[in-house]
Amino acid sequence: MEFGPILIWRGTDSDNVSLAAVMSLRSENPPLGFSVGNMPVDPKRLAEIDGHVIWRFDFALPVGQVAEYAYGEQTFPVDTRYDGDLNIGFVSCNGQENGDLERDPEERNLMWNDLAARADATPYHLMLHGGDQVYADEVTNAHKLTRHWPDDLSDDFTEAELEDLFQSLRAAYLHRYGQVYSAAPFARVMARTPSLMMWDDHDICDGWGSLKPEIVDHPIAQTLFRAAREAFLLFQHAATDADVPQLFLDQTGRSLAWRYDLPGVSIIAPDLRSERTRDRIMGENGWAAMESATQDVQERVILVSSVPLLGPRLSVLEWIFNTFHIVKKYHDDLRDQWQSRAHRVEWQRMLQTVLNLEDQGATVTAVSGEIHLATRAVMDSPKGGVQQLVASGISHPAPPKLYALSLGTFARLGEAPLAGHPIKIAPLPGQHHNYSAERNYLNFRRLNGLWEAQWSLEDSGNTPWLTL
């Protein structure tokens, strides 16, 4: 699949913003001319997968204007005015578990069309992608060794067969990203808007990290992870392993957590997948990365937590599901949450980290996807509360309204993982129920120095702005 250019954010100083543009072209098609202000930019070859070359262009644009770059016959405007008013988008859950590539594009990309029209009127300075950028679950159909994944993993294979599996999976990931990234409204926005992305489970496969250790440690599963990770680096960060020390906080690349700053705002994204096990959300590397990410932050911190950091008392629901042996899938989904009993200590540690950021003088807003609903929550804090915004998913179908209603009722139980800091779920502005079961995405803005957020909902439209 061919796609691109997709812009990836690299950093900014007082003069320039550094960007990378990634694209995939069939091997026989060389990249066309790429230029900034008539100066040609040389492409860098990142990888070759299934008859395609993945190319990257590294370039800089001047800040403080609507700058532009050119590729082929087209020029692309990029709004680089980061000092004053700022618009940041947040999307998550771009797909569905089964048959995502077979959906009617009009219907599938309805909210993307909405977002693209909005971006035409008011360009985003940055787009955050909070997990499940693709639903790759079906990549395991690509090879006989993973056809029954995660069941019946064979121990009877040669090194050559394992390599063959790796190549098939690389091709399958490329195909999936290619189809999702070449969708017209997505391609249009992402050629003009730099993105920052953090993965969740479906960028690897459903429930990665909650699988049993004998599955995760199996050479077939490790091959799956290796292919997913290569795809994450290539397509979500325009990067290869060689770029890891420069782009991510953990120099070893075991955790792919990152932090990037714009004037007045630090954006921090812990990696909740690379080191996940059934009993752990992050390992030593992930926690060390969090430690360094939370030093010397700007006055506003946006914490991208791929699964919601603040939520209802799911441990009770999990206990009920567990006890009554209700569908294992739901149980695994709950195990993915910070609120799972298995992760209580780590959850407290992360919440304490957030409170420590407040002690430094920052105002923290957590933003998450994952649950295919829109909602928000507030944790009491000395500074007036830490807000959690949940926006999910932009193309994943919403669950039944009844499910959202029951979850909303259940959420009234409240939760206080840290003594003295109760968490309360709340409806979106203008909505009556705690959870909105509609496809959606989120908009942040800094307007005259004031931070606000607004959800765009499929049926209800734009919510009023919420002060953050």
| β 300-304/265-269 pair status | parallel
Q: Residue 247, interface with Fe ion (CB under 5 A)?
A: no
| Binding residue count for Fe ion, defined by CB under 5 A | 2
Give the span between the Cα atoms of 191 and 183, in whole angstroms: 12
Q: To the nearest whole angstrom, how small is the minimum distance from the Cβ of residue 130 to Fe ion? A: 10
Q: To the nearest whole angstrom, how small is the minimum distance from the Cβ of residue 200 to Fe ion? A: 6
Nearer to Fe ion, 93 or 457 (CB): 93
Q: To the nearest whole angstrom, how small is the minimum distance from the Cβ of residue 393 to Fe ion? A: 5
Nearer to Fe ion, 93 or 362 (CB): 93
Q: To the nearest whole angstrom, how small is the minimum distance from the Cβ of residue 336 to Fe ion? A: 10
CB contact at 8 A, 127 and 187 = no
**One-character DSSP codes across 57-109:** EEEEEESSSEEEEEETTEEEEEE---SSSEEEEEE---S-SSSGGGS-HHHHT
Nearer to Fe ion, 93 or 310 (CB): 93
Nearer to Fe ion, 46 or 373 (CB): 373
Nearer to Fe ion, 123 or 397 (CB): 397
Structure tokens at 203: 């960028």
Helix (H, G, I), strand (E, B) or coil at 161: helix
CB contact at 8 A, 361 and 299 = yes
Nearer to Fe ion, 168 or 388 (CB): 388
Q: To the nearest whole angstrom, how small is the minimum distance from the Cβ of residue 190 to Fe ion? A: 19
Nearer to Fe ion, 21 or 93 (CB): 93
CB contact at 8 A, 262 and 82 = yes
Give the span between the Cα atoms of 288 and 274, in whole angstroms: 14
Q: To the nearest whole angstrom, how small is the minimum distance from the Cβ of residue 348 to Fe ion? A: 25
Within residues 80-139, the interface with Fe ion by CB under 5 A covers 93, 132
Residue with tokens 């909105």: 436
Give the span between the Cα atoms of 192 and 71, in whole angstroms: 12
CB contact at 8 A, 348 and 417 = yes
Query: What's the chain's length in residues?
Result: 468
Please state the φ and ψ torsions of residue 24, each to the nearest 5 degrees.
Answer: -120, 130
Within residues 4-33, the interface with Fe ion by CB under 5 A covers none
Nearer to Fe ion, 93 or 357 (CB): 93
Within residues 46-65, the interface with Fe ion by CB under 5 A covers none
Within residues 317-346, the interface with Fe ion by CB under 5 A covers none
Q: To the nearest whole angstrom, how small is the minimum distance from the Cβ of residue 269 to Fe ion? A: 16
Q: To the nearest whole angstrom, how small is the minimum distance from the Cβ of residue 94 to Fe ion? A: 8
Helix (H, G, I), strand (E, B) or coil at 53: strand
Give the span between the Cα atoms of 174 and 53, in whole angstroms: 11
Neighbours of 432 (CB within 10 A): 8
Residues within the interface to Fe ion (CB under 5 A): 93, 132
